[in-house]
Structure 1
């Protein structure tokens, strides 16, 4: 039996508290598109959180669609992760300056 490779799935969120009521899906895709989203995030030092269950749900939303209220808690955890990673990166850059 041939082993089937699991296809990557990715979703990107944006949140600007000054203009958005909630985070929005700004990119999503599977396979090559997901690989490109991940590659661009890495290239631009955007933190990546691996959460297969959440990305499954986010991938069902439309581009520019705000996340539904029932996902606020899960996305808040991701935003907390991102803010922590950004803070660590800033601290690291300040130390090396």
Structure 2
């Protein structure tokens, strides 16, 4: 999940990602929205205990991706760093790979 916020011209943006650790598919965008829809995406994430990271540039890039599409290659490194942090925080990743 990656929210961003800005001025009135650039309303809050939220993007939700899905990834299966050890799967054969890249992370994909499963929800995206601005303004009220972004607030709802964040509300669902917080209520579900999903980790949220604020990254305005990444959210803007990913908000242009069609729903259920793989993330673009230019976002791979940033998303990989976020997923690595999340999986380590949740104890699902060791230095040698998936549990």
Please state which band the TM-score falls in when normalised by the shorter chain: 0.7 to 0.9
Shift of 1:71: 1.3
The verdict on how the C-alpha distance between 1:8 and 1:69 changes in structure 2, with shifts beyond 3 A counting, is same
Q: Indicate the RMSD between aligned Cα atoms, in angstroms.
A: 1.9
TM-score when normalising by structure 1: 0.77
Deviations 1:11-51 (A, max 9, x none): 00000145442000000000000000000000000000000
Q: Give the match for residue 4 of structure 2.
A: none
Structure in which a larger fraction of residues adopt helix: 1
Structure with higher Rg: it is 1
Matches of residues 5-84 of structure 1 in structure 2 within 5 Å?
7-84=11-88
TM-score when normalising by structure 2: 0.76
Q: When the two structures are aligned, how many residues end up with a matched partner? A: 85
Q: Which moved more, 1:17-26 or 1:53-62?
A: 17-26
Structure in which a larger fraction of residues adopt strand: 2
Q: Which stretches in structure 2 are left out of the alignment for 5+ residues?
A: 1-6, 92-99
State yes or no: 1:86 paired with 2:85.
no
CA contact (8 A) 1:13 1:27 kept: yes
Q: Which stretches in structure 1 are left out of the alignment for 5+ residues?
A: 88-97
